[in-house]
Structure 1
């Protein structure tokens, strides 16, 4: 049994505002989640597409497509390369605030996969980010997820990972995001994602709106303030552990990979937590995964051993908030 992650792989051009220099980091949210699952010992296949790009216009170095290929080869994740109509690799310009480690993104996006055929052993699909809204791939992803979830024992996970730069029309973005959420069993979004999609609603109210579309679990990440999990019956908030932030690239993806790893069962199905105590335990593990990633440059998710060591290290833990 395996998990299939479908979505973009790209090159982050990290612009450090304090020093005005650019550092390329191959990644992309779905690719980062696949890497995170691999490091946690979960078999995962990344279905994605990239191009054979010309060399960058600045400096010297590998073409973007070669950089992506070398990255995927180096992390030993099983990759199924989908044919792409454009033959381009998505480029993200990440403006990094050297003082806080936070990132703001602009995109030159290409997401046009063709011939998406899932392996028979696929039990869980995870997708989101640019793949949720950039056409024509977004519609193909929705169709794939809807058909997959209709099969017995199959599940779908979505991380909205909202990027307004690729679709500034808020109403159009929300419509595309909601049609994908409607195919999912669990959905994750940051408080910033929800504030942009649903202005005027609290993050909790926005998450409830997403739950009403069909998922059974919604998770809100809140950066340094931790995370909140919501089901139809329960709501739990857990604070984030203290950490030295180098940058926030890939922290949400590490959280997502840890979330899936925690919920996955040996047969490839997912078991969603049903009690406040179970929700708390899941969130505590996931916020640690995010914090460990923030302490490193670029998207470098932790291993299971690193998470376990951090969980068992003696430190005071504030009590969760439950309702």
Structure 2
């Protein structure tokens, strides 16, 4: 959905390019036990989830050559994620303090620097952006420029993943969401994101707005109520999997990765996004996210984990006459 530009520095030219923040989540559990540190940052989590699923993925981010930065690189590298060399640009790696509530939800306090030394060239067939990187200046300008300069035919995925403590005034954030959504083939947001951006709006009205701006497919996750996935050709509600939630850290990022992974395996899901295709996208992403919420921190599934869960669900639904999840 984008046009070719010229002024930038090159990155990997195959698989998925993720542009956005990578940081360390300092997790404080609800039961008061000792805090732990985990690699985080929404875009980094998306890259990790794609790598775990066996997809080729590279990350253009901003980290420091310090113990936390090297931990991020090692952790993502273990899933096959390539870190662009220009990412080593900070003096100190960013952190987010995540306080986990009794219901598994997380509240964040950020110590984040987001700046990019240059605008990356997108040569990849798929690019994903979002979260802090889409809003915090000066790096946000480079993110938007990278998407605007991407070649025609690039599949663009965008997840605003709103962090009110960092992104400032709401109307300015809405303008940035509009600019990126207009270029995106996939827009994923949570119901909390939607409420912050468009207070008092029904979810369907938010989907309508983003589609009218130019988004190809819009998915809104609603926690235990599942997800709504819509296009100009149809709209479906995908139920949430019934699982024991440990915490929700990284669940939305895994959902985004699930959408991208489905498209990588069947591009026709975006070419003809009717109700059947939308349901397939939503079920695949929901199945992946359901595994993550059963684990501590952002710990997305491997391909084997996902296929095992899909098969188990198909057996359960088959016994009751239901329809199984869509699997690749």
TM-score (norm 2): 0.87
For 2:236 and 2:28, locate their aligned partners in 1 and report how far apart those are by CA, in whole Å: 36
For 2:274 and 2:74, locate their aligned partners in 1 and report how far apart those are by CA, in whole Å: 43
The Cα offsets for residues 210-251 of structure 1, whole Å up to 9 and x where unpaired, read as 112211110001111111101113110011111111111111
**1:162 deviation in Å?**
0.8
**Which residue of 1 is the match for residue 111 of structure 2?**
108
**1:86 deviation in Å?**
4.6
**Which residue of 1 is the match for residue 5 of structure 2?**
none
Is this contact kept in 2: 1:155–1:270, CA < 8 A?
Answer: no
Q: How does 1:111-260 map to 2 (within 5 A)?
A: 111-118=114-121, 120=123, 122-148=124-150, 151-260=151-260
Query: Structure 2, unaligned stretches of length 5 or more?
Result: 1-13
**Which residue of 1 is the match for residue 73 of structure 2?**
69
**Which residue of 2 is the match for residue 15 of structure 1?**
28
For 1:281 and 1:171, locate their aligned partners in 2 and report how far apart those are by CA, in whole Å: 34
Is this contact kept in 1: 2:65–2:88, CA < 8 A?
Answer: no
The Cα offsets for residues 116-174 of structure 1, whole Å up to 9 and x where unpaired, read as 33364x111101011110111111110110111xx232121101111111024212222
1:315 counterpart SS class = helix
**Which residue of 1 is the match for residue 292 of structure 2?**
293
For 1:142 and 1:258, locate their aligned partners in 2 and report how far apart those are by CA, in whole Å: 23
Q: Between Structure 1 and Structure 2, which shows a larger proportion of helix residues?
A: 2
For 1:144 and 1:270, locate their aligned partners in 2 and report how far apart those are by CA, in whole Å: 25
**1:17 deviation in Å?**
3.1
TM-score (norm 1): 0.88
**Which residue of 2 is the match for residue 281 of structure 1?**
280
For 1:274 and 1:71, locate their aligned partners in 2 and report how far apart those are by CA, in whole Å: 35
**1:84 deviation in Å?**
6.3
Residue 89 (str. 1) matches residue 93 (str. 2): yes
Cα 1:4/1:270, change in 2 over 3 Å: farther
**Which residue of 1 is the match for residue 60 of structure 2?**
47
Query: Structure 1, unaligned stretches of length 5 or more?
Result: 54-62
Paired residues in the alignment total 306
